[in-house]
């Protein structure tokens, strides 16, 4: 499916009643009380003709769900975008709002689930509901050389895509900062850049940047 047509479909999607209800009724924190929340599904962003696809988990209620753009306006975004910038994947080191001029180089970024879930944990049925959109995006990326999955849930979503294509994924396990060769591309995995993983030093910035730099070197080779 053409990416613009796909995005139009996603924007209208209300398959997950729990998530629609959550985003429409959750109380907004005081510091954002004057913000107009997006409260719709979040679209993929970047260069659909790029060689790398980055897959995240789901938008945070006060991040992407507030600002209307993937990985924008929260702590995870700060960590991820500044790291991507250091590795040459973005034109600026910050992602604050839709009008900040952020552009991705040679990559597209998307999500396993496009509506903010309570406690950042989607149900299996919600992941299933949303999976077809991700598969369509992967199929739209004609120059794809690598997929980077941020967290196990994103990794499992990528595996489901390959399973559907009858690619053997049996031996593949989520491990931080690792990659597998699969179906003529590389499947990379990393811990998600959530504040919990960053604050506990499970994900270290210098190591993550070096990992991203290696990915950039590979996709350009």
Q: Which is nearer to ligand SF4, 130 or 141 (CB)?
A: 130
Number of residues this chain uses to bind ligand SF4 (CB under 6 A): 13
Least distance to ligand SF4, CB of residue 24, Å: 12
Pick the stretch among 14-22, 77-85, 144-152, 168-176 that binds ligand SF4 (CB under 6 A): 14-22
Q: Which is nearer to ligand SF4, 57 or 203 (CB)?
A: 57
Least distance to ligand SF4, CB of residue 153, Å: 13
As a whole number of angstroms, the distance between CA 91 and CA 173 comes to: 33
21 binds ligand SF4 (CB under 6 A): no
Q: Residue 111: helix, strand or coil by DSSP? A: strand
As a whole number of angstroms, the distance between CA 146 and CA 81 comes to: 18
Among 53, 54, 113, 144, binds ligand SF4 (CB under 6 A): 113
Asked whether the beta carbons of 134 and 112 are under 8 A apart, the reply is: yes
Least distance to ligand SF4, CB of residue 22, Å: 10
Least distance to ligand SF4, CB of residue 41, Å: 4
Q: Would you say how long the chain is, in residues? A: 221
Among 114, 134, 154, 189, binds ligand SF4 (CB under 6 A): 114
Q: Which is nearer to ligand SF4, 124 or 201 (CB)?
A: 124
Among 16, 159, 185, 187, binds ligand SF4 (CB under 6 A): 16
111 binds ligand SF4 (CB under 6 A): no
Using CB under 6 A as the binding rule, the residues of this chain from 23 to 62 that contact ligand SF4 are 41
Phi, psi angles (nearest 5°) of residue 131: -60, -35
Least distance to ligand SF4, CB of residue 126, Å: 5
Least distance to ligand SF4, CB of residue 17, Å: 8
Least distance to ligand SF4, CB of residue 60, Å: 14
Q: Where are the alpha helices (DSSP H) in the chain?
A: 3-12, 17-25, 64-67, 75-86, 124-140, 152-164, 195-199, 205-220
Residues pairing with 185 in the sheet: 182
212-216: long-range pairs with CB below 8 Å, 24+: 212/83, 212/84, 212/86, 212/87, 212/89, 212/148, 213/86, 213/87, 213/88, 215/52, 215/87, 215/146, 215/148, 215/186, 215/188, 216/52, 216/87, 216/88, 216/89, 216/106
Q: Which is nearer to ligand SF4, 59 or 73 (CB)?
A: 59
Asked whether the beta carbons of 53 and 148 are under 8 A apart, the reply is: yes
């Amino acid at each position: 499916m053409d990416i613009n047509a796909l995005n139009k479909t996603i924007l209208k999607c209300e398959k997950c009643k729990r998530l629609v209800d959550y985003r429409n009724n959750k109380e907004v924190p005081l510091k954002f009380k004057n913000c107009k929340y997006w409260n719709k599904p979040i679209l993929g962003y970047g260069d659909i003709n790029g060689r790398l696809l980055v897959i995240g988990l789901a938008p945070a209620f006060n991040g992407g769900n507030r600002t209307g753009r993937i990985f924008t306006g929260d702590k995870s975004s700060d960590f991820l975008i500044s790291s991507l910038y250091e590795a040459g994947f973005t034109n600026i080191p910050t992602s604050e709002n839709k009008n900040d001029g952020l552009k991705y180089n040679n990559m597209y970024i998307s999500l396993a689930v496009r509506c903010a879930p309570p406690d950042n944990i989607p149900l299996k049925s919600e992941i299933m509901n949303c999976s077809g959109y991700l598969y369509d995006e992967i199929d739209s990326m004609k120059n794809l050389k690598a997929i980077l999955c941020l967290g196990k849930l994103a990794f499992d979503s990528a595996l489901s895509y390959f399973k559907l294509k009858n690619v053997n994924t049996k031996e593949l396990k989520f491990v931080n900062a690792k990659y597998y060769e699969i179906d003529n591309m590389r499947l990379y995995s990393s811990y998600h850049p959530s504040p919990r993983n960053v604050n506990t030093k499970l994900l270290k910035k210098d190591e993550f940047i070096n990992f991203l730099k290696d990915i950039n070197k590979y996709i350009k080779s």
